[in-house]
Structures are given as C-alpha cells and as structure tokens.
Amino acid sequence: MRIAFGCDHRGFKLKNTLINYLEGKGHKIIDFGTFSKDSCDYPDYIYPAASAVANKKADRAVVICFTGIGSCILANKIKGIRAALAYNIKSAKLSRCHNDSNVLVLAADLVKPDYAKKMALSWLKEGFEAGRHSRRLRKIRKAEESQ
C-alpha cells in the first residue's frame, strides 16, 4: 500500500517512528514532511499528504500534529477525503469499517509511539463494511458536492 505522511514539528518524531515501522511491514511511504523539529505550520505538510490520497498518488495517508484537531479539520476540506482523528485502536478501526476513512489523524502528544503503531496497523488492515454505511457515505458525498 502507498501511504502518504505529513506532520508538523510536534509530530516529527512519531512520523519517523511510524514510517520506519510501516516500511518494515512492506508499505511504500511518500513523506511530505516536515523533516525537522523546527517550528512550522501543519497545513504546509498535511495538505499535500491528504491531497495525494485525493489525487490517487497514495492509497491512504497518516497525518500528525499536536492534538490532531487542526490536521483533521484541514484534511477534511479536501474533496474526497474522509479524515478520522483517532485516539485508540477501536476508533481507528471503526473509522475504516463504518466511514471508509482514507486519512488517519494522530495526536503526537496524546498517543504513545508503540500504541500508535498498533493503531496504524489496525487501520491499514481494516476494510470497509459497506451495507448501511454505504448509504451514509453517499449522503456525505452529496453534501460535499453541494458546496
């Protein structure tokens, strides 16, 4: 799977940890930065990572900032993106099963690295259940199209 990554300075360490872990699992990584711990603005890195999914250059994306809130708001501004801010394995998994999320948003300062690995792996392995959830996604797409 091709996975895009984007983060701000607060997510730099966790991003690198997850990239190394997921590359070891055989995934292809597209790293949009940031590439240091120097203070920066998350939109400069989250937007390209989420856009890569919308433009089919990546299958999914993982984006990381301090709380994940700003990154989630930004990613969901992009047509076709369903970004989910997850704080535990169950929410990450259900975001795939029920919402077909294509961007996982993590809070660098609220999720420990080993747990984030488990969350990401669970999210990547999970499929979309479809069924009644497809009806809901159609309604989301319709709302998106009305903008």
- Catalytic residue positions, numbered: 65, 98
**Are 44 and 20 within 8 A, CB to CB?**
no
**Are 51 and 26 within 8 A, CB to CB?**
no
**Are 96 and 123 within 8 A, CB to CB?**
yes
Structure token digits, residue 4: 């895009």
> What Å distances lie between residue 106 and 41, 77, 119, CA to CA?
16, 17, 9
